Amino acid sequence: MGSNVDVDVLVVGAGITGIHQLYRAREAGFSVQLLEAGDGPGGTWFWNRYPGARFDSESYSYAYLFSKELWEEWEWQEHFAGQPEIERYLNHVVDKFDLRRDMRFGARVTSASYDEATATWKVRTSDSKAITARFLVAATGILSVPFFPDVPGRDDFRGEQHHTGLWPSTPVDFADKRVAVVGTGSSGVQIIPVIAQEAAALTVYQRTPNWCTPLNNAPITDDQQAWLRADFAAIKETLDTSPAGFLHQMHDRKAAEDDERQRHQFFEKMWASPGFSKLTSNYTDLFFDADTNAQWCEFVADKVRSLVHETAVADKLIPKDHRFGEKRPPFVTGYYESFNQPNVSLVDLSETPIVRVTEAGIETTAGSREFDLIVWATGFDFGTGALLRMGIQGRDGLALADHWADGPTTFLGVQTEGFPNFFFPGGPHAAAGNNPRYNGDQVDFITDLLVHARDHGYDLIEVDPAAEQAWVAMIERNVARQSFTEKSYYFGTNVPGKPRRFLLNSGGRPKLHKEIAKIKSNDYKAFRLSTVQGS
Ligand code: NA7
């Protein structure tokens, strides 16, 4: 392709999506390079190396499906793999397909500017290098910019402090230490039981409890390994087409179709079921009927009361401000039981908020506690965080940060007008469900689009504004039809000053598939394809 560029395709980010994009673009015959800020592949699974970090989608549902050989040779050890196994897997993929030779680590993108005359991108990195590319693909992730709350005095603390999303690669020792964990989202509830086992004292600072249910992880048995190997084609077909990207079977009943005893039995079955099946395989009206949702919440609340010995503590751990599915529910292993340990205590920040961090610890309106170590499990600038921090400038120097000042506008969650030849799979407006599945759909779509452009001699790809407006309108229209509310960080609510916009694809994966099929059947008319003069 273009001779006036260093590479045809420049990918940013070596997470699941970026590795996939590098593989697909290279297979399609493009010259590719990948830049990654970290020192190794993994993205989210590189940075979130805190103890207890693990999938809460099944390992094999999260894995790549583009190579049968890869699928057959990699044996996941657990249904929900821990971070070290995930990082090993991603390194294995990179080595198996010889991708490392096109990856540059320790290279954080500091700016990316579109050059109108040549329809190319010039990208600069923190190691003072510049690279030009025809196509820029930012696979920079949705949960990749850690969010630290603006608590006064955070820098004054003299002990150790870490964010779960920026965890050090050297071991962090909790033994005999007084530890604080701030935040009880998916990351907090994963790390808390691990620290509870080791620390002298653990104080959990909770602002809002979540509806946590058991992950129900287990080793994968030999029989299950044999099934996984033998059934690749059928499993791939299910994962490629399932709305949420899981293997779970949907249920066929509404709650009211069962009597009370049957309902209780069914809820017990759900409680004992793996991970997200509590959402995907629950009563079909769980998110549409307030009574059904309330009954499930009451069932979960009873479980919390039965697991946590102290009634007052159990009560604080039960959500009062939202229903199941209004926020992304975490999945847990031994979380509630941790609060029965004598070395673990809970501070309810809704009653006694944090005043400041001191040199020695944390002060709330109820007084101060001293710590050796503070863990910030306080989440991320979701969806747009990384894209808006890369210094991206499109046509006429338009900054993406300005273009999206009121929230992101996209087509299929892959492109936005004014930024030709720039794509962002796995970014905002992608879909909702098991991330690698619909991010993979986007990677496949982008690759097919690039191939189509090359085959027809085009070197400029830009979304048609009408197509983008229709996609954004679809997202807005469907917001009310999905379960998440503005309490969820999926609306950007957790970051002060961030516009409140739904950051997922409220039409879900089926809408993405339908649109992709339409685009392909009408010769990519949703995009303006052209040739740069003289190229
Ligand atoms: P989350 O789910 O955003 O959780 C962040 C937690 O931090 C949550 O409990 C917040 O409480 C808490 N938080 C945030 N700011 C503050 C302040 N200022 N004071 C006290 N507590 C605070 O992030 P995670 O890393 O746990 O999970 C992110 C995703 O990773 C998860 O959904 C999975 O997809 C994997 P709040 O609820 O806002 O009151």
What is the Å distance from ligand 1's center to 360 Cα?
Answer: 23
Find the residues whose C-beta lies inside 6 A of ligand 1.
143, 149, 164, 182-188, 205, 207-208, 328, 349, 354, 377-380, 489, 494
* Residue owning the nearest CA to atom 23 of ligand 1: 379
Residue with the smallest CA separation from ligand 1 atom 33 is: 186
Phi, psi of 108 (to 5 degrees): -90, 130
Average pLDDT over residues 194-215: 98
pLDDT score of 533: 65
Which atom of ligand 1 is found nearest the CA of 187? Answer: 26
Split at pLDDT 50, 70, 90, the class of 233 is very high
Please state, as a whole number, how many other Cβ atoms lie within 10 Å of the Cβ of residue 326.
Answer: 18
CA of 377 to the centre of ligand 1 (A): 6
pLDDT value of position 535: 53
State the chain's mean pLDDT as an integer. Answer: 97
Q: How confident is the model at residue 54 (pLDDT cuts 50, 70, 90)?
A: very high
Asked if residue 111 has pLDDT above 80, the reply is yes
- Percent of the chain clearing pLDDT 70 (strictly above): 99
| pLDDT beyond 80 at 464 | yes
> In this structure, is the dihedral angle defined by the CA atoms of residues 486, 515, 425 and 232, taken in order, positive or negative?
positive
Q: What mean pLDDT is predicted for residues 88-107?
A: 98
Domains of the chain: 7-37+106-145+382-530 (3.50.50.60), 181-376 (no CATH)
Please tell me the residue having the least CA distance from ligand 1 atom 29. Answer: 186
Give this prediction's pTM: 0.97
Task: Among 142, 162, 207, say which to mutate for ligand 1: greatest number of ligand atoms within 8 Å of CB.
Answer: 207
For residue 432, name the pLDDT band (cuts at 50, 70, 90). Answer: confident
Q: How many whole angstroms from 208 Cα to the centroid of ligand 1? A: 9
pLDDT band at 223 (very low <50, low <70, confident <90, very high): very high
Whether residue 3 is predicted with pLDDT greater than 70 in this model: the reply is no
With H, G, I as helix, E, B as strand and everything else as coil, classify residue 182.
Answer: strand
Query: What per-residue confidence (pLDDT) applies to 431?
Result: 82
Burial of 158 (C-beta count, 10 Å sphere; 0-12/13-18/19+): exposed
Residues 6+ apart with CB under 8 A from 188: 164, 181, 182, 204, 375, 377
- The per-residue pLDDT for range 327-349, each reduced to its tens digit, is 999 999 999 999 999 999 999 99
Q: How far is the CA of 442 from the centre of ligand 1 (A)?
A: 27
Cβ pair 441, 482 in contact under 8 A = no
Q: What's the 63 CA to ligand 1 centre distance in angstroms?
A: 26
Residue 534: pLDDT over 60: no
Across 472-496, average pLDDT: 95
Q: What angle do CA 102, 23, 509 make, to 5 degrees?
A: 135
pLDDT in tens, 377-426: 999 999 999 999 999 999 999 999 999 999 999 999 999 999 999 999 99
The dihedral through the CA atoms of 236, 242, 246, 251 has a sign that is negative
Instruction: Name the residue with the closest Cα to ligand 1, atom 25.
Output: 379
